[in-house]
Structure 1
Amino acid sequence: MGNIRIAGLVVSVTLLSAVLTSCDDGSKAAAEQAAGQVSSAIASLDVSHAPILGTDVSAAQSQLKDIVSGLGDVKPKVSSGQASTNNGTTTVPLAYEWELSGQQWKYTTTAQVAQEGGRWGVRWSPDLVAPGLKAGEVLAVKSEAPARADILGAGDAPLVTMRPVKRVGIDKTFVGADRLDASARALASLVGIDPDGYAKQAAAAGPKAFVEAIVLRDTPDRKPTDEQLGAIPGAFALSDTLPLAPTREFGRAVLGTVGQATAEQIEKSDGELQAGDLTGAGGLEQKYDDQLRGKDGVTVLAVAQGSTASPAPTATGGASPSSAPSATPSQQAATRTLFSSAPQPGKPVRTTIDPRLQQLADDTLSSVGPASAIVAIRPSDGSVLAAASGPGSNGYNTAMLGQYAPGSIFKTVDSLALLRQGATPDLPVQCTPTLTVDGKTFQNATGYPADHLGAISLRDAYAHSCNTAFISQRDKVTQEQLAASASSLGLGVEAPLLGADGFLGSVPADAASATEHAASMIGQGKILMSPLAAAVMAASVQKGSVVSPRLVLNVGEDEAEPSASASPSPTNKAAGGSKPVTQAEAAALQDMMRAVVTSGHAGFLLSVPGAPVGAKTGTAEFGSDNPPKTHAWIIGTHGDLAVAVFVDEGGLGATVSGPLLTNFLTKAAQ
């Protein structure tokens, strides 16, 4: 829906304080100097010291202020040209160039220059500011915003698109002053907002104002109903549309939201946003706001002073709320169009998000209390199919931006590093109850099975997540080799096709102390990953080559569009040149991930129908509590699908994140 707004248009250039130039011979140079001084003065909206003729400079300044009043800080560029004389009249052209809501308005006015009392100056008149402008006229601009473009998902399915809403509020025209407070408080209580605050807002609004209380999706089960509103004097539900996702929580953190521009956003927009404009907040809506918003259509009018008016929305289900007064017929007749440009529609942002899988991920996390995330990637092409952050994330994009110790899922990287040193999944390793490194004692997770202690295979150590077995191999792989293996699986490297903000992991390549290196072997210490990075790692194993994630398909199609901004670890840049995982290495890792399901911690995944499931659980301790808090992780592969599940302060990966992955994979396969 187009957004119409009318406001006074600011006229400007750069002021140079000037003194009239003496020139007895009426030279061309003197005329051009005077015109240049006036053009600079108009630019700064201060002609009080300019070489003005024909009126007092204070009167000219007052008239200029009236012409441009109410139009903020929009200023044009103005340049003066060469003087010419015809029939005794000397003139200098003034060229204007405006930037109005992204549209350019160019025109030229003519300054009459003369010499009076030995000094050169410019005769003041309104048409010096805009072509044909007369005394008593001011400039006004009417902007028409195009409908905001959609964010599209896989197959160009609309994710965020214009959907019907109801703007619920009080129209003061239809409620007496003696009932206003009671009506405002009744409506506030009905829609669940602060009654005191809304009552004060209603009292402070103008006598004919519509005071909005809340905006609701227009659904069959909308509450409050029209009947409930009808019982409150002055309450109305106005029909409108807004760019919305299918549900309030659908991909909210990754997609972002759309609303009316705040004062802060308007101030930072350099004139691109005005009051009432829709703009993005967070996620893709904010990152691609310029592309989605398009450009306003602009009409510049010469109007009788005091004739501008603002349109109002239309009510449904009852009498119409009041609107601002319109211009009188005589005022309307005096209106002239000086410039007009059509609105330019925005361009949709195309993404790889699968609507069904995104909704499934959101639903799977809907009852999880702590911060949580599910990221699903298609290994064959790197498409991000779902990126959900649970309600405990409080709007933060945990799925793509979270930075957490990965715990035992990082043993996938350890295993690749060991394979590159000649190990195989059958390599015998020692799993002991504890292992001490430089005075620090490491132990296995609570509940580790006693029958898998002692001499076991690397595969078995991975399947049951024996911490001490992997730490015991620390001397076989350096920290730099760990970092190189991490980048071979897509961690800590650039993601040029992602098209969104994301954290791809951090694995320091610098030499660490023995204790820090031991901690790295079990995904702790300084190792950090996001759920996105974990899903990339699993996808790279499943594909048998490095997977570079992609979310926004427009990236690379238009140089003006934002580039990807996935964040690699600065310490991992050296490792970025390492060789990618090979098919043979990936086959060994796939074998080990399958063992997690068939004989290890994740036997619950055997119930998932279809292709064999591979997995790796992870529990990462953090903080100083005793016992320490833990992050719960699990990664899984299922055919052409790789998934990471994360729960902050979640306990064990197998018991907390495991059921969430089982639910997701089972329903995804249906």
Structure 2
Amino acid sequence: MKRTTAIVCLSSLLITAGCSDSKSGSDGKPDPNDEKQASAEVVQKFAAAWIAAWAPDGKPDAAAALTDSPTTFGKRLDDVDTALVASTVKVTPQGEPNCTDGSTCTQELAVEAVLRGIGTMKWTSTATAVKVADAWKIKASGDTIYPGLGDANYLKRVRAVPARASILDRNGTALTTNQPVVIVGVASGNVATAATYAAFTKNLDVDGKKLAARAKASPAGQFVDAITIRAAEWERLRPTMGKLPGVLTMGGTQSLAESSSFARSVLGTMGTATAETLKNAGPMASAQDQVGATGLQYAFQQQLAGTPGGTVTLRDGKTKMTIKVVYQQKGTVGKPVKTTLDRNLQRAAEAALATSKLPASLVAVQASTGQILAVGNGPTATNYNRAFQGRYAPGSTFKIVTSAALLGSGETANSTLPCTNTINVFGKSFKNYDGLAAYGAGTMQKAFINSCNTAFISQHGRLPADGMTKAAAMFGVGRDLDLSIPAYGGEVPAPKDVVAEAASMIGQGTVTASPLQVALIGAAVDRGTAMKPVLVPGKDAAGPAASPLPAATVAALRTFMRANVTGGTARVLAGNGAVAAKTGTAEVVQNGKVVTNGWMVGYRGDVAFAVIVEGGASGAKAAGPILKNFLTRFK
């Protein structure tokens, strides 16, 4: 059958053979008695019809009708197209016909066929035009399509896909390798039973109802794929799933990490090509290929995959033996993608997140360079990279930025900031988190380590309208992160009024950031300069994201964050080295209800980090234990 999956724009150039001594009849049509003119005309029409026949969804009928045996030639032409998997073809008549008598002429055809997923195959065949009664026809021979085909021989295409290259960590250690997988599916039609589809839902998290609908709508005899899993996982499921009616499997290989959750949202996933992923994979990919679907596997698909090679052989129709190799294209191996990830730190992040019962993310970066060391999204495997793409109110972690803004306005670490139970700003009442009792007058450092909202908001009059926006920019917040995979750099809009300004000072209102960006805030304090994040060196922009922070501001913030661990809201991290940190609790509205997200940001040595727990009661209670677990796993 003719394949119909390729979607290609076809263009062709037909060179009309000119015969200076040919004459037309009185009606302007070629004179059938002028063999050169008549032969050239039918060859030209045949070439155009051949091009149309091998176009996507093309039919061989028009080309076959120009031959002396339409029934046999049409199928022959279509079979060769299907065997080659040609996506486009150019057929160009060469020179003038060579006529041996008044009823037989030959003319060469230059053929270029683009073999989907391999390359362009070129050859020259010979079209023989014969006069049948008063009409000229193309002799229905396989040699017209390819020399040597004759009546029985055939062409055989073999495509060779090179092994996919690995994604590497910062030390060159492979984070992905080619591993055996099993594609699990069902037979089309009504072969599978209700119990079969229920098992897909229960054991493989596949929507059984949707799979059943696909199976019933598919043509008879087809394999309807449902999910691709690791071979080891299928061995575990085989005793129960393998015996169910209609279950079918196919083996294969995929580029996989050490576990289904390991850095999944960053490294990405593989899958059988879809319309979108096939387009991203480039012209040498095939609809049957396993290609990158998400993450770095998708972003660097063509580099990792390399280019396939292939051969086309002419084979004997009776013995099936190869007569000769008529086309050969060498493939090129893919090139690894080296990242800044550290495998050991990534393992530590995965293990720490596994302890959470709520959706959580952890990001660790090298403060001195901005290079990303670990990215985890848990506690279960997910393709959604909330660590990079999540848009969250940063809550009290943003008091790092607020402190910098106030320090830049002339205040000092010892400036007095009164901590009251509530504070009213133009009719809007703000309060502290439930565990904090008002303590009255205190320094900025005390307000920081106790995370007193009202103390910071009391100073909103000291800042200009764009004060928080400018302070955030010093930490790189609000810029496009421009990473190899999507990432959100946060936003601190100029407040529309003083209420919005007050909310921004405690990381609420219109202020948003991703966990990655919050980790970079911690890194800016550690280094003294905000750095651009880097995941793939040489691909991602590197270097400072802003001018260095004022030295006095850096010194104060470092003192604040260290004191917060030794005697403030981040004391859960005490005993894990010289850790500096800030907790945060952010209120958000979900489904009409106010819930809180728990945050923690900080650094130790040259490693800065941030954790968010969706629905966490507070930063100390929800994010703190995860971060403590992470810190105990590396020096």
Counterpart amino acid of residue 164 in structure 2? R
Instruction: Give the distance between the partners of 2:252 and 2:513, measured in 1 at CA.
Output: 42
Counterpart amino acid of residue 532 in structure 1? L
Could you say if the C-alpha distance between residues 120 and 341 of structure 1 is closer, same or farther in structure 2, counting changes exceeding 3 Å? same
Instruction: Give the distance between the partners of 2:596 and 2:194, measured in 1 at CA.
Output: 51
Residue 47 of structure 1 contacts residue 57 of structure 1 at CA under 8 Å; is this kept in 2? no
Residue 406 of structure 1 contacts residue 529 of structure 1 at CA under 8 Å; is this kept in 2? yes
Q: Does 1:75 align with 2:88?
A: yes
Provide the aligned length of Structure 1 versus Structure 2: 607
CA positional deviation for 1:333: 2.2
Could you say if the C-alpha distance between residues 583 and 338 of structure 1 is closer, same or farther in structure 2, counting changes exceeding 3 Å? farther
Could you say if the C-alpha distance between residues 211 and 522 of structure 1 is closer, same or farther in structure 2, counting changes exceeding 3 Å? closer
Could you say if the C-alpha distance between residues 475 and 78 of structure 1 is closer, same or farther in structure 2, counting changes exceeding 3 Å? farther
Could you say if the C-alpha distance between residues 585 and 213 of structure 1 is closer, same or farther in structure 2, counting changes exceeding 3 Å? closer
Instruction: Give the distance between the partners of 1:397 and 1:277, measured in 2 at CA.
Output: 25
CA positional deviation for 1:261: 3.5
Give matches, 1:620-635, under 5 Å.
Answer: 620-623=586-589, 628-635=594-601
Q: Does 1:345 align with 2:333?
A: yes
Question: Could you say which residue in structure 2 is the equivalent of 1:254?
Answer: 266
Give matches, 1:138-177, under 5 Å.
Answer: 138-163=154-179
Question: Could you say which residue in structure 2 is the equivalent of 1:657?
Answer: 623
Question: Could you say which residue in structure 2 is the equivalent of 1:3?
Answer: none
SS at match of 1:156: coil
Partner residue of 2:51 out of 29, 43, 47? 43
Instruction: Give the distance between the partners of 2:513 and 2:227, measured in 1 at CA.
Output: 42
Question: Could you say which residue in structure 1 is the equivalent of 2:485?
Answer: 500
For structure 1, the residue ranges without an aligned partner over 5 or more in a row are 1-6, 172-179, 306-329, 557-562, 567-575
CA positional deviation for 1:601: 0.8
Give matches, 1:266-345, under 5 Å.
Answer: 272-274=284-286, 276-303=288-315, 330-333=318-321, 336-345=324-333
Could you say if the C-alpha distance between residues 48 and 351 of structure 1 is closer, same or farther in structure 2, counting changes exceeding 3 Å? same
SS at match of 2:255: strand
Give matches, 1:376-455, under 5 Å.
Answer: 376-391=364-379, 394-451=382-439, 454-455=440-441
SS at match of 2:434: coil
Instruction: Give the distance between the partners of 1:643 and 1:339, measured in 2 at CA.
Output: 55
Could you say if the C-alpha distance between residues 103 and 70 of structure 1 is closer, same or farther in structure 2, counting changes exceeding 3 Å? closer
Superposed CA offset, 1:616-659 (max 9, x none): 11111111778720111110110010010001111211221112
Query: Considering only aligned residues, what root-mean-square deviation do their CA atoms show, in Å?
Result: 4.7
Could you say if the C-alpha distance between residues 405 and 181 of structure 1 is closer, same or farther in structure 2, counting changes exceeding 3 Å? closer
SS at match of 1:483: helix
Residue 51 of structure 1 contacts residue 120 of structure 1 at CA under 8 Å; is this kept in 2? no
Instruction: Give the distance between the partners of 1:196 and 1:412, measured in 2 at CA.
Output: 49
Superposed CA offset, 1:256-313 (max 9, x none): 22234458755886764446422222211122222222222212234567xxxxxxxx
Residue 91 of structure 2 contacts residue 109 of structure 2 at CA under 8 Å; is this kept in 1? no
Residue 433 of structure 1 contacts residue 468 of structure 1 at CA under 8 Å; is this kept in 2? yes
SS at match of 1:621: strand
Could you say if the C-alpha distance between residues 627 and 86 of structure 1 is closer, same or farther in structure 2, counting changes exceeding 3 Å? closer
SS at match of 1:633: strand
Question: Could you say which residue in structure 1 is the equivalent of 2:144?
Answer: 128
Could you say if the C-alpha distance between residues 456 and 110 of structure 1 is closer, same or farther in structure 2, counting changes exceeding 3 Å? farther
Could you say if the C-alpha distance between residues 55 and 331 of structure 1 is closer, same or farther in structure 2, counting changes exceeding 3 Å? same
Q: Does 1:517 align with 2:501?
A: yes
Residue 169 of structure 2 contacts residue 175 of structure 2 at CA under 8 Å; is this kept in 1? yes
Instruction: Give the distance between the partners of 1:65 and 1:647, measured in 2 at CA.
Output: 59
Question: Could you say which residue in structure 2 is the equivalent of 1:534?
Answer: 518
CA positional deviation for 1:238: 9.3
CA positional deviation for 1:81: 4.6
SS at match of 1:441: strand
Question: Could you say which residue in structure 1 is the equivalent of 2:450?
Answer: 464
Question: Could you say which residue in structure 2 is the equivalent of 1:324?
Answer: none
Residue range with higher mean Cα deviation, 593-602 or 531-540? 593-602
TM-score norm. by structure 1 comes to 0.77
CA positional deviation for 1:548: 1.1
SS at match of 1:44: helix
Question: Could you say which residue in structure 1 is the equivalent of 2:355?
Answer: 367
Instruction: Give the distance between the partners of 2:527 and 2:465, measured in 1 at CA.
Output: 25
Partner residue of 2:122 out of 71, 91, 106? 106
Instruction: Give the distance between the partners of 1:60 and 1:579, measured in 2 at CA.
Output: 74
Could you say if the C-alpha distance between residues 601 and 274 of structure 1 is closer, same or farther in structure 2, counting changes exceeding 3 Å? same
TM-score norm. by structure 2 comes to 0.81
CA positional deviation for 1:31: 6.7
What percent identity do the matched residue pairs reach?
A: 32
Question: Could you say which residue in structure 2 is the equivalent of 1:55?
Answer: 68
Could you say if the C-alpha distance between residues 80 and 522 of structure 1 is closer, same or farther in structure 2, counting changes exceeding 3 Å? farther
Residue 355 of structure 2 contacts residue 626 of structure 2 at CA under 8 Å; is this kept in 1? no
Residue range with higher mean Cα deviation, 658-667 or 623-632? 623-632
Counterpart amino acid of residue 477 in structure 2? L
CA positional deviation for 1:546: 1.8
Instruction: Give the distance between the partners of 2:509 and 2:179, measured in 1 at CA.
Output: 47
Could you say if the C-alpha distance between residues 195 and 533 of structure 1 is closer, same or farther in structure 2, counting changes exceeding 3 Å? closer
Residue range with higher mean Cα deviation, 594-603 or 184-193? 184-193
Instruction: Give the distance between the partners of 1:258 and 1:621, measured in 2 at CA.
Output: 37
Q: Does 1:551 align with 2:535?
A: yes
Give matches, 1:528-607, under 5 Å.
Answer: 528-553=512-537, 555-556=538-539, 579-607=547-575
Question: Could you say which residue in structure 1 is the equivalent of 2:23?
Answer: none
SS at match of 1:337: strand
Counterpart amino acid of residue 75 in structure 1? T
SS at match of 1:74: strand
Could you say if the C-alpha distance between residues 65 and 426 of structure 1 is closer, same or farther in structure 2, counting changes exceeding 3 Å? same
Instruction: Give the distance between the partners of 1:212 and 1:493, measured in 2 at CA.
Output: 40
